[in-house]
Amino acid sequence: MAEKIGKHIAIYGKGGIGKSTTTSNISAALAEAGYRVIQIGCDPKSDSTNTLRGNNYLPTVLDSLREGNKIHLDDISVKGFGGVLCIESGGPVPGVGCAGRGINAAVNLLQELNLFEEFKPDYVLYDVLGDVVCGGFAVPIRDGITDRAYVVSSSDFMALYAANNLFKAINKYAPTGGAKLGGVIANSMKPGYHREIVEDFVEKTGTSIAGYVNRSIDVQQSELYGKTVIEAKPNSAQADIYRNLAKYIAENENLVVPNPLGSAELRDWARNWGDRIYDIESGVVGVAEAI
Amino acid sequence: MANIIKNPRNGCALHGALQTVQEIQGVVPVVHANASCGVINYLANSKTSGGNPRFSGYSTPGTAAQERHVIFGGASRLREQIKNTVKVVDGSLYIILNSCESAMVGDDVDAMTREIVEQGEPVVDTLIAGFNGSAYYGYEHVLADIFKSVYELKKNEGEKNPRLVNIFGIIPQKDPYWQGNLEEITRILNGVGLETNIFFGADGGTEDIENARNAALSITFGRWGELPAKVLNEKFEIPVIQRAALPINADDERALIEGIEEYITIDQETKEHFLEKEQKYELNYWSRVRDEIIENDLGRTVAIVGEEEHVIRLGKLVQEVFGAEVVAAVLTDALKKDEEHTLDNGEVLNSIAKNIYKTSDQKDINDIIRQSKAELVIGSSLEQHVADKHGIPLVEASYPVYHKTILNHSSIGVRGIVGVIAEYITAVKQADKEKEEKLQNKLKEFKGQNVWQEHSYKKSHNVKQVGLVSQGAVRESI
Ligand SMILES: Nc1ncnc2c1ncn2[C@@H]1O[C@H](COP(=O)(O)OP(=O)(O)O)[C@@H](O)[C@H]1O
Ligand code: SF4
Ligand SMILES: [Mg+2]
């Protein structure tokens, strides 16, 4: 493969956890800092770049592929906030076909169209549907497409479970040139024990935290305007949180191969936390003591 | 880690299903697969010499699915293909066959089928994907799937036929002699007043499928065929008898007929008269070759490669007729999907062969043949190379056979088996002759031609002794 143009970063996480919100704000923050950025939504939902392009219509790569006509980059991409190039891979109608293969085909097509040679990005962000449900969704971290992945997670068990699955996939592919892990983005952090749970999880899996993102009304409000926080509320504290996260991700070279927990291990770990949370909530112990 | 299987001779389940339905007259197959699953099967089978049925190779209707159909699903492509097929090609039954591709994508083939059936077309679908197993699995399951759904389409029940017998286990194209063998089994059962449903070939067809429910009995030869027989048993209470192998002589034919008599009354006079004639026929030919057997020393050590039924049948034949010893038997149809079979031929096999192996890997097979030190191989054309290399004759009798055309020749029953006996003798004589010629040519290259000419009249068995009296260099070259 030719020398890669720009840094290629995959962002994973379970559905609804905040991947698209976080990725779009990172893209916006990087664009604001003067970088050339591409954001590729790799999720059949195809709403990854909504807030970068004011919810405007954008045909997906697979929609164009389905029609079978000759495809031009202009047909499937649009420039959003700060010149971020927005692309959505798209996917089949829910319940039919194979979305995993769709992601694969879309990524291949973008390479065939010389996307990176044409646009010359500094950063390419892939917003990927999260549980690594099959080989297709692991494509962005295989085959040297990206060399680093981040995972968005809250302190909810299912979100950490999805993160652990991603770790398994990285663990499998990293030795043959797949991506490594840059860290966990802890999203929707509320005060209390939530941070401790995620911190304990990264410690157990030999990974690290890339940044904490609070749960904030600014995020929801901006979303309703069809904008990122960076665009809608540039002076808010939340915008700074995203700017710091973007800076960290842009500069971080501490990439690791995680040690995922086994199924039983993960279950025991969760049960243990269940007991502790109960004690905390019922006021038996304070956070610090419980840990 | 992954192993390489060299020259696996068994196609996938789709291939087995396809070659099975292709040989039922009146059936039009519709293959829902990426372009070439069907063609691969054609390319493999068209090299063998049993001729090709009407819907084979490039004239098989198929969806030729592309990446687009994987991503977005191929069901609507299938709908289009069935609709067009029904319009363009006349058939009394359309059978949809699935591939790995459609199974992995999870296309709702069932819904497409129902849609067309509601429009009054006779269509059945099968749920076999290539990865489910080997061609043997495909043969069994496609028949089972057909019997499970075809009677919903063909409402005309017909009448029970107390003399009708369903025949399973003679697999189209997989048994190189399937056409002749179906004819021979029919001849035998007709001989005692029975009728057969053979499904495949010149005398088969979709009527046999329709009539299968009215049979008085199903017989399975070998391990493959149990499943469709079971479906008919569950649906229509048709009893089943299982035979380890097809008959090779009058005794076998008697045993078969007496097995049938437990379910169907057979006129004793007809039976005895028929079997007497069979016995006479057998005796005539078997005794005609007795001098050749002794003269050519035909009781050799033999390795047999083929499906279990072939091994049992042909092993027994060479033991009984030639006094040969089966030093190695390789079962090429023993794959993991056979767990569901109740027929266990372990004991029969042990009585036939000294060593039994289960593999379809040509590398293993070659090693087994080499190590067995067999003097003759009964197998497929794939064994030609190893046989040539070790200078031993090969009788081609199991799939695939490339070097001879087999149309209605049979390899079973008192009539069919005569041909196999002749081939065995021919193969040995030919090989012995070649060996002798080779030796003579070698010897001519050396001095002292007179000495060698004298010896050349001797049998090739004495070759080694001839070598002993020669110079050291000659001995080595032999
Ligand atoms: N830090 C946050 N604070 C408040 N709401 C958030 C935050 N992160 C995500 N959300 C909200 O959660 C919902 C799902 O987020 P989204 O980015 O679409 O998830 P995903 O892409 O992982 O499916 C959105 O409505 C989004 O506004
Ligand atoms: S194994 Fe699957 S892909 Fe291969 S030929 Fe058979 S059906 Fe087609
Ligand atoms: Mg999303």
Q: Are residues B316 and B409 in the same domain?
A: yes
Contacts of A65 in chain B (CB under 8 A): 68, 71
- Distance of CA A277 to CAs A77, A88, A196, A204, A265, Å? 46, 40, 11, 18, 18
Chain B residues 71-90 with CB within 8 Å of chain A = 71-73, 75
The amino acid sitting at A64 is S
Q: Are residues A117 and A215 in the same domain?
A: yes
Counting ligands in written order, the one closest to the CA of B129 is 2
Q: Are residues A16 and A38 in the same domain?
A: yes
| Cβ contact A186:A47 at 8 Å | no
Q: What is the bridge-based pairing of β-strands A85-88 and B394-396?
A: unpaired
Mutation to probe ligand 1, out of A12, A184, A219, A240 (largest number of atoms < 8 A from CB): A219
Q: Is A72 exposed, middle or buried (0-12, 13-18, 19+ CB in 10 A)?
A: exposed
* Residue A97 to residue B108, Cβ atoms within 8 A: no
The pLDDT assigned to A33 comes to: 97
Which segment of A178-187, A248-257, B127-136, B317-326 scores lowest on mean pLDDT?
B127-136
The pLDDT assigned to B475 comes to: 38
Q: Are residues A242 and A105 in the same domain?
A: yes
Q: Are residues A49 and A145 in the same domain?
A: yes
| Cβ contact A183:A252 at 8 Å | yes
The domain boundary residue, chosen from B121, B153, B185: B153
Range of the domain at A291: 262-291
Q: Are residues A13 and A156 in the same domain?
A: yes
- The Å distance, Cα A100 to ligand 2 centre, comes to 20
Q: Are residues B420 and B447 in the same domain?
A: no
CB-based contact (8 Å) between B347 and chain A?
no
Q: Are residues A287 and A178 in the same domain?
A: no
Q: What is the bridge-based pairing of β-strands A148-153 and A180-189?
A: parallel
Q: Which two tokens stand for residue B235?
A: 């649906």
Q: Is the pLDDT of residue B1 over 90?
A: no
Q: Is the pLDDT of residue B344 over 90?
A: no
Q: Are residues A108 and A243 in the same domain?
A: yes
Q: Is the pLDDT of residue B322 over 80?
A: yes
* Residue B70 to residue A101, Cβ atoms within 8 A: yes
DSSP code at position B411: S
pLDDT in tens, B50-95: 788 888 888 899 999 988 899 989 999 999 999 999 999 999 999 9
The pLDDT assigned to A68 comes to: 78
- Ligand 1 neighbourhood includes A15 CB (under 6 angstroms): yes
% of chain B with per-residue pLDDT over 70: 91
Set A43, A131, A147, A200: catalytic member:
A131
Q: Are residues B297 and B243 in the same domain?
A: no
Number of structural domains in chain B: 4
Helix (H, G, I), strand (E, B) or coil at B216: coil
Helix (H, G, I), strand (E, B) or coil at A253: coil
Asked whether the CA dihedral A220, A224, A227, A230 is positive or negative, the reply is negative
* Residue B71 to residue A98, Cβ atoms within 8 A: yes
| Cβ contact A13:A130 at 8 Å | yes
Say if A285 falls within a structural domain: yes
Q: Which residue of A has its CA nearest to B69?
A: A97
d(CA B401, CA A77): 57
The pLDDT assigned to B464 comes to: 44
Distance between B108 CA and the closest CA of chain A, angstroms:
8
d(CA B431, CA B454): 21
Helix B250-260 × helix B178-191 angle, to 10°: 70
- Ligand 2 neighbourhood includes B12 CB (under 6 angstroms): yes
Q: Which two tokens stand for residue B24?
A: 């039922």
Distance between A66 CA and the closest CA of chain B, angstroms:
6
- Ligand 2 neighbourhood includes B402 CB (under 6 angstroms): no
Question: Strands of B325-331's sheet, edge to edge?
Answer: B356-358, B325-331, B301-306, B376-379, B394-396
Contacts of B108 in chain A (CB under 8 A): 96
Say if B7 falls within a structural domain: no
Sequence-distant (6+) residues with CB within 8 A of B113 are B82, B96, B123, B124, B125
Q: Are residues B145 and B169 in the same domain?
A: no
- Ligand 2 neighbourhood includes B130 CB (under 6 angstroms): yes
Say if A1 falls within a structural domain: no
Q: Is the pLDDT of residue B459 over 60?
A: no
Contacts of B105 in chain A (CB under 8 A): 96-98
Counting ligands in written order, the one closest to the CA of B37 is 2
Q: Please say if A204 is a catalytic residue.
A: no
Range of the domain at B108: 13-153
Give me the half-sphere count of Cα atoms (radius 13 Å) on the Cβ side of residue B405.
Answer: 3
d(CA B468, CA B475): 7
Q: Are residues A240 and A275 in the same domain?
A: no
Q: Are residues A55 and A186 in the same domain?
A: yes
Length of chain A (residues): 291
Mutation to probe ligand 2, out of B18, B32, B36, B37 (largest number of atoms < 8 A from CB): B37
Q: Are residues B323 and B379 in the same domain?
A: yes
pTM: 0.84
| Cβ contact A229:A221 at 8 Å | no
* Residue B71 to residue A96, Cβ atoms within 8 A: no
Q: Are residues B308 and B345 in the same domain?
A: yes
Q: Is the pLDDT of residue B473 over 60?
A: no
Say if B318 falls within a structural domain: yes
DSSP code at position B322: I
- CATH number of the domain residue B316 falls in: 3.40.50.1980
Helix B37-46 × helix B13-22 angle, to 10°: 70
Helix (H, G, I), strand (E, B) or coil at A7: strand
Sequence-distant (6+) residues with CB within 8 A of B410 are B177, B180, B181, B183, B184, B416, B419
Counting ligands in written order, the one closest to the CA of B134 is 2
Mean predicted lDDT score pLDDT of chain A: 91
Say if A207 falls within a structural domain: yes
Contacts of A66 in chain B (CB under 8 A): 68, 71-72
| Cβ contact B32:B96 at 8 Å | yes
Q: Are residues A115 and A80 in the same domain?
A: yes
d(CA A62, CA A68): 10
| Cβ contact A164:A130 at 8 Å | no
Distance between A42 CA and the closest CA of chain B, angstroms:
14
Q: What is the mean pLDDT of residues B194-218?
A: 97
Say if A2 falls within a structural domain: no
Sequence-distant (6+) residues with CB within 8 A of B39 are B57, B58
* Residue A101 to residue B67, Cβ atoms within 8 A: yes
Q: Please say if A74 is a catalytic residue.
A: no
Q: Which two tokens stand for residue A131?
A: 């549980």
- The Å distance, Cα A18 to ligand 1 centre, comes to 4
The domain boundary residue, chosen from B240, B275, B310: B275
Number of structural domains in chain A: 2
Question: Strands of B195-197's sheet, edge to edge?
Answer: B195-197, B164-168, B217-221, B240-243
Q: Are residues A268 and A171 in the same domain?
A: no
Atom of ligand 2 nearest to the CA of B13: 6
Quickly tell me which residue has 């097995």 as its tokens.
B259
- CATH number of the domain residue A175 falls in: 3.40.50.300
User: Where do the H-state alpha helices sit in B325-412?
Assistant: 346-352, 362-372, 384-389
Mutation to probe ligand 2, out of B34, B97, B107, B131 (largest number of atoms < 8 A from CB): B131
Q: Are residues B426 and B438 in the same domain?
A: no
Q: What is the bridge-based pairing of β-strands B301-306 and B240-243?
A: unpaired
Quickly tell me which residue has 């709702």 as its tokens.
B108
Q: Which two tokens stand for residue B443?
A: 């010897």
CB-based contact (8 Å) between B110 and chain A?
no
* Residue B71 to residue A102, Cβ atoms within 8 A: yes
pLDDT in tens, B304-317: 999 999 999 999 99
Question: Strands of B93-98's sheet, edge to edge?
Answer: B27-32, B93-98, B123-125
Nearest CA to ligand 2 atom 5: B37
**A with B: how many residue pairs have Cβ under 8 Å apart?**
41
Counting ligands in written order, the one closest to the CA of B14 is 2
Q: What is the bridge-based pairing of β-strands A77-79 and A85-88?
A: antiparallel
Say if B281 falls within a structural domain: no
The pLDDT assigned to A72 comes to: 92
Q: Are residues B49 and B128 in the same domain?
A: yes
Helix (H, G, I), strand (E, B) or coil at B245: coil
Q: What is the mean pLDDT of residues B14-31?
A: 96
Helix (H, G, I), strand (E, B) or coil at B96: strand
| A186: enclosing H helix or E strand | strand A180-189
Q: Are residues B55 and B131 in the same domain?
A: yes
Contacts of B102 in chain A (CB under 8 A): none
Q: Are residues B229 and B140 in the same domain?
A: no
| Cβ contact B206:B93 at 8 Å | yes
Atom of ligand 2 nearest to the CA of B11: 6
Distance between B130 CA and the closest CA of chain A, angstroms:
18
Q: Please say if A233 is a catalytic residue.
A: no
Residue B461 binned pLDDT confidence (cut-offs 50, 70, 90)? very low
Say if B311 falls within a structural domain: yes
- Ligand 2 neighbourhood includes B100 CB (under 6 angstroms): yes
Q: Please say if A14 is a catalytic residue.
A: yes
Q: Which residue of A has its CA nearest to B108?
A: A96
A112 vs B181, residue with greater confidence:
B181
* Residue A66 to residue B67, Cβ atoms within 8 A: no
φ and ψ at residue B469, rounded to 5 degrees = -85, 0
The domain boundary residue, chosen from B153, B176, B194: B153
Helix B413-444 × helix B250-260 angle, to 10°: 150
- Ligand 1 neighbourhood includes A49 CB (under 6 angstroms): no
**DSSP assignment of A85-138, as one string?**
EEEE---PPTTSS-HHHHHHHHHHHHHHTTHHHHH--SEEEEEE-TT--SGGGG
Q: Is the pLDDT of residue A139 over 50?
A: yes
d(CA B172, CA B50): 10
Q: What is the mean pLDDT of residues B239-259?
A: 98
Cα–chain center distance at B160: 30
Q: Are residues A167 and A192 in the same domain?
A: yes
Q: Are residues B417 and B325 in the same domain?
A: yes
Cα–chain center distance at B346: 20
pLDDT in tens, A51-64: 999 998 899 999 88
Closest CA to B302 of B323, B333, B331, B332: B323
pLDDT in tens, A28-41: 999 999 999 999 99
Q: Which residue of A has its CA nearest to B104?
A: A98
Mean predicted lDDT score pLDDT of chain B: 90
B241: left (phi over 0), alpha (psi -120 to 50) or beta: beta
Q: Are residues B323 and B302 in the same domain?
A: yes
Chain B residues 41-70 with CB within 8 Å of chain A = 67-70
Distance between A85 CA and the closest CA of chain B, angstroms:
25
